[in-house]
Structure 1
Amino acid sequence: MSTPVYIYPQPRRYAALNGSSAAAAYFQLRTGDEAAERMAKAAHANERLADLPRGESVSAPHLAAVSASIIVKKNLHPQGYELTWNEDGLQLAAATAQGLHYALLTASQIFAGMKGAAQWGHFTVEDEPQLPVRGVMLDIGRCKIPTLISLRTLIDHLSGLKFNHLQLYMEGFAFDYRKYAELFPDATPITAEEYRELDAYAASRFIDLVPNQNCLGHMGKWLSKPELRHLADHPDGWPLPLPEPLSIIAPPLTLNPADERSVSLARDLFEELLPNFSSPYANINLDEPFGLGTGESKERADEIGVGQLYLDYALKMIEIVREQGKSPLMWGDVLTHYPELADQLPSDLTVLHWNYEPDIPFEPVCQQLQKSGVSYYVCPGTSSWSSLSGRTANMLANIADAAINGNKYGAGGLIVCDWGDGGHWQVAAISYPAYAYAAGAAWQTDHNLKALEPLEYYVSRHMLRDRSGKAAALLLEMGRYHLLERSTAENMTYTNLLLTKGLMAKEQLDQTLAVTVQVQQQFGGSGTPMEHDYRFAELSNWLSQRREELNALQLESEDAVLLKDELANTLLFIEQGGGLHRYIHRQDLHNEAEEKAWLTKLHNDLEAALAEFQRLWLARNRSGGLEESITPFTKLLDQYKEQLA
C-alpha cells in the first residue's frame, strides 16, 4: 500500500499491516523505564496524546484506555522514530525527545486522516530526515515585521512541518538596539524581551531560533543616518558601473570593511542581540557587499585583494560572535568567487549557499564546497517576493534542485528563504506551499519532490484549515498568473515591477525596462532584455476563476475572514497591475472616453485596495515600515489623479 495522502512530509517507509483495531477513545501513556519517562516529558507526550484525534463512533467513559507506549531506541537516528498501531495499541519509539516529537506529529496526521472510522487499520512507520537541519529564513528587515502573535503562529506551522531551524533576517532597525534607538524613532522593532520569549517558544517546539543580523552589505538604512554615513565604503553614494550615457548613483549600502569603526558598530549590534538567544549559532550574513573595495576601502583592496579584504572583515565578525558563544553562519556568494580563500575558513563556519532561480543550478557550487571540505547548507527561495502571489513553477524547481544537490554533495541542511524585496507586499499565506515543499524535500527528498497531492492536503487541511481541501491548489495557481505575462522578468513578476515603476507612456516604459535590466546586472541579473506579451483579457478570465475558487473555500480557522480578505486583495493588486499595463498599451481602449473611464476605474480600485492593504497589514504586522511599503501605491494614485485632472 502506498503512503496515505494525509501524511506529510511523506515518510521514509510506511506499511499497512494486517488487521485493524477499534478507533481509540483516548490514549493512556505508558513508559517502561526512567529514560522513556524523561523523553516523554521533554516531548510533552502526555498532553499531546490527549489531543490526538479520537474515534467518533465510540464513547470514552465506558471504554478502557488504549495504550500508547513510549520506547527509547538508541540505535535510531537522533531525529528518527518508529510508529506502530496494532492490536497492542500505539507504540512510539525514538532515540531522543525530538524524534518522539516527530512521531507524535505523524500519529496526529494519521488519526486525523482516519477520522470517522470505527476501525483503524494497523500500520507501521519508520522515518528519519535526510537533511539534519531544515529551516526557514523570514525577512523582517525590509518593511514588514510581524507581531509576536504572528511569529508564534509561524513557529507552530513550521513545527508541524518538522522544521527545526528558523531565522528572522534583519537589516535596518528590526531589533530594538537601545544604543541606536534614537536614530530610528518611527521603527517598531522586536524587543529583547520578545526575542527571549520567541526563543523559548520555538525551543519548546524543537525549533532552533537562530539570531541573524547583516553587518557589511545591506546596511543602507543604517548608512542613511548622518551619524553613521561616514562608515560607508561610498559615503556619497555608489556610482553603478553602467555604460554611458547612463549615470545612476546608488545610496550608501556597504560598510567600509577597512575602517575599525565599522567593526565597532557590528560589535555593538551583536553584543546586544546575541545574548537573547539560546541557539549555538548566529548568522552574520555578509552577502552582497555592493561596491566593495572600490570606495574608501580601495587602497586596502589594491594592496591585498578584494577577496582578502572581505575575508579579513569576516574573520573579525566571526570572532565577535564566538565571544558570545556562537558558531557562525554566513552567505557564500562572495566566497564562491574566491575559492582560494577556502583554506582560511574556520572549521566552525557553515556557509549558506543561496540561489533562487532554477536556470542557475546548485550543483557546481555544491561540488566546490564539498571538495573544499566546507560545511554548508543549501538555501533556495519561496519565490514569493516581488511577485504579489509567488511564482509557483520557479519555486518548485528551485527547491527541488537545492534538495537534490544538497543531498548529493553533503550539505548539512536546507533553509528556504522568504524575502521582502520591494516592500514585502506578499501576505504570509502565499509562502505556505513553499514552506511545505521545502519541508518535504529536506525531510525525504525522493518521497516528496513529486508528492504535490499530500502537500496540498497538508497545506489546506492543517495550515489553512480549509474543509473543502482546495485552498492549497488556489495558492499554487495564484503563483501562476505571471505566466500570462509571457515576460522575461527575473526574480520578480512584470506586474509587480509595473506597480513599482508607476504610470508612464509606453515609450518611457520601454526605456525604463531597458535601464532596469542594466541596473539588475550590477546586482546579479543576467542582462536578458525585458520582453512581455501581456493581454488583459486573459488575465481577467484568470481572475474570475480564482475569485470563484476563493469564494468556494470553507475556512475554519480563527483568522478565516482575514485570510480570505488577504487573498482577495492580492487578486485586486494583480488586477491593478494588469489594468495599468492595459492602459499604457491602450489594449481595447478605442477612444479618449474609454481611456478616461478605464483610468478612473484604476484610480478607484487602487484607492480601495490600498486602504484594505493597510488594514490587513496592521492585522498581522507592526506599523513600522508600512509607509515605506505603500510609497509606490501612493505615487501611482497621485499619477492617476494628475492624469485625470
Structure 2
Amino acid sequence: MYFIPQPRKIEYKEAGEGQNGFVLSYQGYIVLDPSCGNRITRQAALVQKALEEKLGFALALTRGEGRKGDVILEQCPQLGKEDYILTVDAENVRITGGEAGVWYGCQTLQQMVEQCGAVLPFVQIEDGPDIPNRGFYHDVTRGRVPKLSFLKKMADRMAYYKMNQLQLYIEHTFLFRDFSEIWRDDTPLTAEEIMELDQYCLERGIELVPSLSCFGHLYKVLSSKGYSHLCELEGADQMPFSLRGRMHHHTINVTDPESLEFIKGKIREFMPLFTSRQFNICADETFDLGKGKSRAAAEEKGVDRIYIDFVKALCEFLVENGRRPMFWGDIICGFPEMIKELPEETICLNWGYAKYQREDETKWLYDAGAVQYSCPGACGWNQFVYLIENSYENIRRMCSYAVKYHSIGVLNTDWGDFLHVNHPEFGVVGMIYGAAFSWNGNIPSFDEINRQISRLEFGDEEERFVSIAASVAAQKAFDWETAIRFKELGEVPEFTEDHKAYISEHMGDMDGVDEKNKRLEEISRDFYGSIVHLKEGKRELVKPYLAAVDAVRLFNELGKVVTAREYGRTYSSMPDAWKLAEELEKWLYHYKEIYRSVSKESELYRIQELIVWYGDYLRMKEEKE
C-alpha cells in the first residue's frame, strides 16, 4: 500500500483467526471525541464527504464516546500540533493527534480507503512532518488567471497531501479599486474570490498567504500612463511590448517618496482580504535598480543599500500592521549580512530552480542568521509539458537543504513565464514531490515516487501515467520559448542579440527531430492506452496531455521550417508548410477549449496571436533561386 507523504513509522498487525481486516460498515459512525475542537469538528464533515465518494456510502457523524466499528477522532495535547497516530484494529479506526495532526491522519485514512476500499488492514501509523511549513506557490499573473473552481480543486489536492500553505503570485491580476488602468484589459481575481478562497483553504488546514509584487516585476503598473513616472527607467510607458521585456524591466524607483506610499496603498487594500498574518512582498529580480533614476543614490550609497532600505521600509510597515514579512532571497544573497537589518521575524524565501541546484545560497543565508524557506520549482515554465525529472531532482535537493540548514518551510513554486502555456493541472506531479519530500526526508527514487503518484493521484492500475508524462520533455526540439524568441527577433532591438544567442545555443535541439516526433507518436498512443486504467474523474486529463504532446510535435515540425528557411539547416524530410499551418490552427481550437475549462480569458489572446503569426509565416511563399 502506498502513502504520500510516506509516514515516519508503519507497523502492520497480524489479523486474528477468521479476520481479514477492519470493515468500514455502512452502519458505522465517524465519532468526534469531546476533546476535538471547532476546527476538527468542521473538518470531520469534509472527511465524511470524502469517504462517501470513495466508498459509495456515507458514515454517520456524531460526537461522544465511540463504539466498536466506529472511526474515532481524538485531539491529544500531548502530541505535536501536526503529529498523529492512526490505529486500525479489530475494534475501531482511531486517529489521535494534535489539531492539525487529526486532519492529516484523516488524509492517510482516505489514502488507505482509496486503495483498500472498506476492508482495511490492521496497522498502526505514527507520523508527523520534518518541516512545519509546506507550501505551493502558483503564478496567476504571467498570462493565465485560474478560475476559482480550479483554485479550490488545487486546495483540495494540497490538503490530501498534507500541505498547509498556498500563495498566488500577483503583479496586476487583482481588481484593485483605484487602479483600473492596471487591470482593465485582463480578467483579474476579485476581492470576493480571494475571500472565498481564503475561507475554503482555512477549512482545509491551508494558510492562503498574500503575495504581491512590490519592487521589481511591475510591468503593467509601471508601463501605465498613471504610474510610469514611478519606474526606474524613463519612458516605461513608451516601451514596445515583448514577453522578454516585461519580465526584464519595470523596477520601481525607490528614490521617489511616492513609490513607497503607492506600494503601501496596494498592500493596504490587498492585506485585509486574508486571514493570514503573513505577507510576501516578493522584491526579486530588481534588474534595473541603480541604472536609471536611482543611479546617483546607488553610486553614493551602493545598490545593496538602496535595495535593503526599501525592503526594510516595506517589512516594517507590515510588522506595524501585524503581519510577518516574506521576500524572495535572490538579491540579498549578494549581501546576506544585511539580512540583520530587517525585522527579526522576516522570512527570506531562498529560491533555486536548477536541476542540480547547489546548496551555497542556502548556507550563506543560514550563516547570516536568516529565517528562511527553501523554494524549489515544479519546472513547467516555458514548457508545454513539465520537466518532471528536473523537478524531482531540484525539489529533492532543495528539501534536503531545508533540513540540513534548518529552514522553517518549503515553498514549491510553479511559475508561468511566457504566458503560462502549459495546462496548470500538469503541475500536480511537482506539487506532490514538494509535499512528499518536505514531510519526510526519506525520499523515494524517481521511478518509485512516480509509480506511487500514478496510483494514488490518477488511480492508474498500471502505475505508468507519470512515467508517460515524464517522457515527453526529452522529445522537444523547437520549444515554446524558442518560438517566442524567434517571433520577437527585431521587434524590440534591446533583446535582439539575446534572442539570437538563445536560438543559436538551442539549435542543436533540432538534431534527431524526426526520431523525437516518432517517439511523440508512441507517447500519444500510450496516453490513449492509459484511459482504461485511470479512475473516473482523472480521464479528463488525458486530452490536455494529448494536446500538449501534439503541440511539442507540431512545434518540432515548425522548427524544421524556420531553421531551414532562416539558418540553412537541412532535414531528410520536410513538412508541407501550408498543411502544417492548418494543423497548428486546428490544434489552437482545442487548446482554447482546454484553456477555458480551468482559466479565465486573461492573455489567451496572446497565445492565439503567436499561432496566427506562425500560420502566416508558414504560408509565406519561399523565394525562388
Amino acid at match of 2:419: G
Q: Name the TM-score, length of structure 1 as normaliser.
A: 0.85
Work out whether residues 162 and 435 of structure 2, in 8 Å CA contact, stay in contact via their aligned partners in 1: yes
Shift of 1:630: 3.3
Q: Which residue matches 1:100?
A: 102
Q: Which residue matches 2:233?
A: 234
- d(CA) in 2 for partners of 1:589 and 1:427? 31
- Where 1:168 maps in the other structure, the secondary structure is strand
Q: What is the aligned-residue identity percentage?
A: 23
Q: Which residue matches 2:88?
A: 85
Work out whether residues 283 and 329 of structure 1, in 8 Å CA contact, stay in contact via their aligned partners in 2: yes
Question: How many aligned positions are there?
Answer: 595
Work out whether residues 254 and 289 of structure 1, in 8 Å CA contact, stay in contact via their aligned partners in 2: yes
> Is it true that 1:73 corresponds to 2:51 in the alignment?
no
Trace 1:472-487 onto structure 2 (pairs within 5 A): 472-482=466-476, 485=477
- d(CA) in 2 for partners of 1:14 and 1:318? 43
Moved more, 229-238 or 434-443: 229-238
Shift of 1:530: 6.5
- Where 2:123 maps in the other structure, the secondary structure is strand
CA change 1:56–1:23 in 2 (3 A) is farther
The superposition leaves residues 359-379 of structure 1 with CA deviations (integer Å, 9 ceiling, x where unpaired) of 441x21221222222110000
- Where 1:440 maps in the other structure, the secondary structure is helix
- d(CA) in 2 for partners of 1:109 and 1:199? 25
The superposition leaves residues 250-277 of structure 1 with CA deviations (integer Å, 9 ceiling, x where unpaired) of 9851110111111122112111111000
- d(CA) in 2 for partners of 1:637 and 1:134? 44
Shift of 1:333: 0.7
Amino acid at match of 2:576: W
Trace 1:543-622 onto structure 2 (pairs within 5 A): 543-552=520-529, 553-554=531-532, 555-558=534-537, 560-561=539-540, 563-586=541-564, 595=574, 598-622=576-600
Q: Which residue matches 1:184?
A: 183
Shift of 1:72: 3.0
Shift of 1:68: 2.1
CA change 1:615–1:112 in 2 (3 A) is closer
Q: 2:483 aligns with which of 499, 505, 510?
A: 499
Q: Which residue matches 1:509?
A: none
Amino acid at match of 2:586: A
The superposition leaves residues 138-179 of structure 1 with CA deviations (integer Å, 9 ceiling, x where unpaired) of 0001110011111111111111111100000011x2100010
- d(CA) in 2 for partners of 1:205 and 1:182? 35
- Where 2:413 maps in the other structure, the secondary structure is strand
Q: Which residue matches 1:489?
A: none
Work out whether residues 502 and 635 of structure 1, in 8 Å CA contact, stay in contact via their aligned partners in 2: no
Q: Which residue matches 2:173?
A: 174
Work out whether residues 235 and 252 of structure 1, in 8 Å CA contact, stay in contact via their aligned partners in 2: no
Shift of 1:45: 5.8
Q: Which residue matches 1:393?
A: 389
- Where 1:613 maps in the other structure, the secondary structure is helix
The superposition leaves residues 565-616 of structure 1 with CA deviations (integer Å, 9 ceiling, x where unpaired) of 21121112101221122224457757xxx75x52122211111112222222
- d(CA) in 1 for partners of 2:483 and 2:446? 35
Shift of 1:544: 1.5
CA change 1:206–1:504 in 2 (3 A) is closer
CA change 1:40–1:277 in 2 (3 A) is closer
- d(CA) in 2 for partners of 1:249 and 1:430? 25
- d(CA) in 1 for partners of 2:619 and 2:275? 53
- Where 1:211 maps in the other structure, the secondary structure is strand
- Where 1:36 maps in the other structure, the secondary structure is coil
Q: Which residue matches 2:404?
A: 408
- Where 1:44 maps in the other structure, the secondary structure is helix
- d(CA) in 2 for partners of 1:137 and 1:168? 6
Q: Name the TM-score, length of structure 2 as normaliser.
A: 0.88
Shift of 1:476: 2.0
Trace 1:448-487 onto structure 2 (pairs within 5 A): 448-450=443-445, 452-458=447-453, 460-466=454-460, 469-482=463-476, 485=477
Amino acid at match of 1:480: A
Q: Which residue matches 1:296?
A: 293
Q: Which residue matches 1:29?
A: 30
Q: Which residue matches 2:159?
A: 159
> Is it true that 1:331 corresponds to 2:361 in the alignment?
no
Work out whether residues 377 and 414 of structure 1, in 8 Å CA contact, stay in contact via their aligned partners in 2: yes
CA change 1:598–1:504 in 2 (3 A) is farther
Work out whether residues 450 and 467 of structure 2, in 8 Å CA contact, stay in contact via their aligned partners in 1: no
Q: Which residue matches 1:123?
A: 123
Q: Which residue matches 2:63?
A: none
Moved more, 384-393 or 631-640: 631-640
- d(CA) in 2 for partners of 1:215 and 1:53? 43
Work out whether residues 53 and 112 of structure 1, in 8 Å CA contact, stay in contact via their aligned partners in 2: no
Shift of 1:320: 2.9
Moved more, 598-607 or 141-150: 598-607
Work out whether residues 274 and 324 of structure 1, in 8 Å CA contact, stay in contact via their aligned partners in 2: no
Amino acid at match of 1:499: A
Amino acid at match of 2:93: L
Amino acid at match of 1:123: V
Moved more, 552-561 or 618-627: 552-561
Shift of 1:46: 8.2
- Where 2:520 maps in the other structure, the secondary structure is helix
- d(CA) in 1 for partners of 2:147 and 2:335? 40
- d(CA) in 2 for partners of 1:251 and 1:81? 46
> Is it true that 1:141 corresponds to 2:141 in the alignment?
yes
CA change 1:396–1:252 in 2 (3 A) is closer
Q: Which residue matches 1:524?
A: none
Work out whether residues 270 and 320 of structure 1, in 8 Å CA contact, stay in contact via their aligned partners in 2: no
Q: RMSD over aligned Cα, in angstroms? A: 3.1
> Is it true that 1:211 corresponds to 2:210 in the alignment?
yes
- d(CA) in 2 for partners of 1:412 and 1:335? 18
- d(CA) in 1 for partners of 2:234 and 2:3? 54
Unaligned runs of 5+ in 2: 61-66, 240-244, 490-494
Q: Which residue matches 1:224?
A: 223
> Is it true that 1:375 corresponds to 2:374 in the alignment?
no
Moved more, 462-471 or 399-408: 462-471
